[in-house]
Amino acid sequence: MSHFPDWAIILAVKSGVLIFIVVTAFAYLMLLERKMLGWFQLRLGPTWCGPWGLMQPAADAIKLVLKEDLTPAGADLFIYKIAPALAVLTALLAYAVIPFGWLPDGTPIAIASPNVGILFVLAAGAVGVYGIALGGWASQSKWSLLGGIRSTAQLISYELAMGLSIIPVVMLAGTTSLAGIVAAQSAHHLWYIIPLFIPAWIYGVTALAETNRAPFDLPEAETELVAGFHTEYSSLRFGTFFVAEYINMITVSAIRTLLFFGGGDGPWVAQFPLLTVVWFLVKVGIMLFIMIWWRATLPRLRYDRLMTFGWKFLLPTSVACVIIVAGVVAAMGNR
């Protein structure tokens, strides 16, 4: 018999399956992005590995694993080696609380559904900067260090606006539980994108900055910093950073769907509750497509403009939104 209690084994299996799904999703998100960017630029994207290039992620993985794992001579070995793991760990952490849909008996499909779900996601995202900052620091390279510093500054600046753009949602829903927020949107028959258009937009912009995506990809600005914080990383360690970045993309898309687009809400979910998973995944896919679309369209911001935009525009706007929504909620009373 097992020494572990049943709940621990169930939890471990659930987490293992979820991690497998998320990593597979990452692999094909990467392929999708390469394909989409190719199409946006009138190219074909990967076409040679398998039909329509569908085996490209496997080929990339093999290539990354088989490459030489270099460590710079001056690197801080322990931190250098732990940084990629830290990045991917914090990226995966958020999936513990994301409800992917609803079972027929009304319980959310998630590893855990704590009352502080959205706070947990924000905390995990905030810790995520450590992987990048420490990786940049421990590489003992000026490019890596500059990339790490930029990433830290960017995340701290945009996290404020991000947190403030979520507060109106929490005020309207009256709960910080992600499942509760989705349930509130279903109960009101109103996706929060409609009343909270500006916070939804601010969340989208700050989410790009949080995930270091174009046009906010300054931490890895090739023209200035070689490859930014992962300049010195090669082989599987580079691959781990890569995984973390794309998993973060999926995370913020999922959170955006949950907060502003009604999660798994959609047609016919009353008859078929499991359809919520499908709607959720479709919405996340659309969010991811929009992120890729933005990357294909927008040029990288200059660093001072990034800061100006974050502190002088996004932050005051989101504060104003918080105040207005708070006033409206107070005026409407306790529903």
Partner 1 sequence: MSFIVNGLRFVANAATGLVIGMVTTMKYLWTKKATIDYPRKPFPHAERFRGVHELRKYDDGLERCIGCELCAVACPANAITVIGAENDPAAPVSPGERYGYRYEIDMLRCIFCGWCEEACPTDAIVLTPRFDLADFTRQRLVYGKDKLVVRDPFTQHMANTESAVETDPGVAP
Point out which residues bind partner 1 (CB under 8 A): 36, 38-44, 47, 293-294, 296-298
CA-atom Rg of the chain in angstroms: 20
Complex with partner 1: residue 31 or 184, whichever CB lies closer: 31
Name the residue nearer to partner 1 (CB basis): 298 or 326: 298
Give the integer Cα–Cα distance in Å for 225 and 167: 35
Q: Smallest distance from the beta carbon of 213 to partner 1, in angstroms?
A: 15
The torsion region of residue 333 among left (phi > 0), alpha (psi -120 to 50) and beta comes to left
| Triad 177, 207, 81: Cα angle to 5° | 95
Q: Which is nearer to partner 1, 18 or 37 (CB)?
A: 37
| Residues 194 and 154: beta-carbon distance below 8 Å | no
- CB 184 to partner 1: min, Å: 29
Q: What are phi and psi of 102, to 5 degrees?
A: -130, 135
Residue 10 vs 298, nearer CB to partner 1: 298
Given the structure tokens 């039909």, which residue do they identify?
51
Which residues are CB-contacts of 66 (< 8 A; sequence separation ≥ 6)?
Answer: none
CB of 167 to partner 1, least distance (A): 21
Considering beta carbons, is residue 47 or 140 the nearer one to partner 1?
A: 47
283-294 as b/e: b if 16+ CB within 10 A: bbbebbeebbeb
The secondary structure of 92-152, three-state, reads HHHHHCCCCCECCCCCECCCCCCCCHHHHHHHHHHHHHHHHHHHHHHCCCHHHHHHHHHHH
Nearer to partner 1, 41 or 107 (CB): 41
**Helices (H) and strands (E) in the chain — how many of each?**
12, 0
CA separation for the pair 90, 123 (Å, rounded): 9
Distance CA 237, CA 139 (A): 12
Q: Which is nearer to partner 1, 36 or 182 (CB)?
A: 36
Min CB(207)–partner 1 separation in Å: 16
- Measured CA to CA, the distance from residue 2 to residue 217 in angstroms comes to 47
Residue 314 Cβ, how far from partner 1 at the closest point, in Å? 12
Quick one: 158 or 238, whose CB is closer to partner 1?
Answer: 158
**Minimal distance, residue 180 CB to partner 1, in Å:** 33
How near is the Cβ of 15 to partner 1 at its closest, in Å? 37
The minimum distance between CB 212 and partner 1, in angstroms, equals 20
| Minimal distance, residue 44 CB to partner 1, in Å | 5
Cβ proximity to partner 1: between 112 and 296 the closer is: 296
